[in-house]
Structure 1
């Protein structure tokens, strides 16, 4: 649940928990989003920083009680790339503990913070993040750009050490279309042209449906849950649910399914990398 596009690498600060974006994220915007999800009987994955699990404990607990998955979005929504391994491990553990205290269950998934200035802001991980996630018992990493289906992020081929990684695409992320001006719309921004995102959703879903593959979308309550945007989401979900054999699932459900159908013991054929230091 992103609160602001101005989040710096040090993570959430007190000022980020006040103002219009924060009010929408946990107020009217979230209510509107949940209303649409409920009407389509959809249970989603909400990525939540540890500090939000504590500060907004009631709302986060309500999400979990309604059947939504609560995944981790860092300790303070920070960039871990410069953290020493021991500090990053402490933050992973503290995040799992804080979310578990609020919801009753430790998070299965971990999502990274997109770094400012990255050309493809998919979410940052340090050289140690995936190894630490495996060691700390996380079941999947939520944002990978290597494929458009779940896949294994391998940290060591011998003995095999790998983590299920869920696909992410900024092409289906409301933030990049509705908050930042797309390059193709030099005369305006996504605020005036939300139909560009809707068109992207429709074409991407159609392509993945025809191929029998996975389509993912990323939503921020304070962005999608306002004005005509929430109607746009409702219309898209209505068109999706008209199709046969569509399974709408949380990230954990997808990761569990992938692991069951493609167990690493039989489907990972690993060899040492050809690349050397």
Structure 2
């Protein structure tokens, strides 16, 4: 493959039109969970399927994490979006059905959590198709939102997502407001609800025997989350979280998340919404502005 390295904006999407949040809110909070389960450990490294201790990190989702996260959302009266690989839904249907029964949004997160690769378009498209089929089969849902496994995307995949009925993506890192993707040819793509990397709990709370490193506790994580949220709130943006039940479903980290969400709730002027709700609001503003 020849790579085009000519100077140009690598994301041709236009800037967001004036953003007004519902009900007089100053900012928005998007609580997104990636329910990777074992796919986080086998999707990009299939040989791990025979390493039971390694995959047990992901097994925590079904045994403990999902239920504890649902318990927290119920306690606080919040709705979240659960980006779920198709493999997870097929392997752990009871736990995933509980997410649907509790009224949460199910998002698309691939089938086996494989990193999308532009040199393997057919494989990337198959991951989308198999993910849809599995989520429909196991949970009776067809998602409208997508979060890229391992956080990667490329133009052909964005076009395929829109063609497949995906209305929004939540993977990119280049804004604090939603925006509409655009192709180099002027075509339009899904809405993007950008991610703030500071709110990816994997960075602070997940290490394994194969990737040793520092784990960060309350004194590091909670002040960082609060400070980043407060600044985003002041700027009128959306705070998008990338959480994992196998991380934030752990006992101490569950309490960190709980305390952070209670801080946001106490502000009183934050719109806490699912990805589908944020997308519908953006689409309404877009239509009203004539864009």
TM-score by length of 1: 0.81
Residues 1:133 and 2:133 are matched in the alignment: no
CA–CA separation in structure 1 for the residues paired with 2:116 and 2:136: 21
1:174-213 paired onto structure 2 within 5 Å: 174-179=201-206, 189-191=214-216, 193-213=217-237
5+ long unaligned stretches in structure 1: 115-122, 182-187, 268-277
Q: Which runs of 4+ in 1 moved over 4 A?
A: 4-8, 10-13, 15-19
- CA contact 1:172–1:197 (8 Å) conserved in 2: no
CA–CA separation in structure 1 for the residues paired with 2:129 and 2:224: 37
Alignment partner of 2:145 out of 109, 113, 117: 109
CA–CA separation in structure 1 for the residues paired with 2:145 and 2:47: 20
How many angstroms does 1:70 deviate by? 0.9
User: In structure 2, do the counterparts of structure 1 residues 155 and 41 end up closer, same or farther at CA, with 3 Å as the change threshold?
Assistant: same
How large is the Cα RMSD of the aligned pairs?
2.5
User: In structure 2, do the counterparts of structure 1 residues 136 and 83 end up closer, same or farther at CA, with 3 Å as the change threshold?
Assistant: farther
- CA contact 1:44–1:69 (8 Å) conserved in 2: yes
How many angstroms does 1:124 deviate by? 1.1
CA–CA separation in structure 1 for the residues paired with 2:140 and 2:43: 30
| Aligned equivalent of 2:194 | 167
Spell out, residue by residue over 1:212-263, the C-alpha distance to the aligned partner (whole angstroms, 9 max, x if none).
Answer: 2211212111111122221121111111111122211111111111111124
How many angstroms does 1:82 deviate by? 4.7
Which is richer in helix? 2
CA–CA separation in structure 2 for the residues paired with 1:161 and 1:40: 37
User: In structure 2, do the counterparts of structure 1 residues 8 and 30 end up closer, same or farther at CA, with 3 Å as the change threshold?
Assistant: closer
Q: Which has the higher contact order (CA 8 A, sep 6+)?
A: 2
CA–CA separation in structure 2 for the residues paired with 1:143 and 1:73: 11
| Aligned equivalent of 1:98 | 134
- CA contact 2:117–2:124 (8 Å) conserved in 1: no
| Aligned equivalent of 1:78 | 114
TM-score by length of 2: 0.78
- CA contact 1:179–1:189 (8 Å) conserved in 2: no
How many angstroms does 1:134 deviate by? 1.1
Alignment partner of 2:279 out of 229, 252, 255: 255
CA–CA separation in structure 2 for the residues paired with 1:259 and 1:38: 28
- CA contact 2:36–2:88 (8 Å) conserved in 1: no
User: In structure 2, do the counterparts of structure 1 residues 82 and 13 end up closer, same or farther at CA, with 3 Å as the change threshold?
Assistant: farther
How many residue pairs match? The answer is 251
CA–CA separation in structure 1 for the residues paired with 2:280 and 2:233: 21
How many angstroms does 1:78 deviate by? 0.4
- CA contact 1:3–1:17 (8 Å) conserved in 2: no
5+ long unaligned stretches in structure 2: 1-34
| Aligned equivalent of 1:146 | 174
User: In structure 2, do the counterparts of structure 1 residues 226 and 91 end up closer, same or farther at CA, with 3 Å as the change threshold?
Assistant: closer
| Aligned equivalent of 2:37 | 3
The alignment partner of 1:9 has SS state of coil
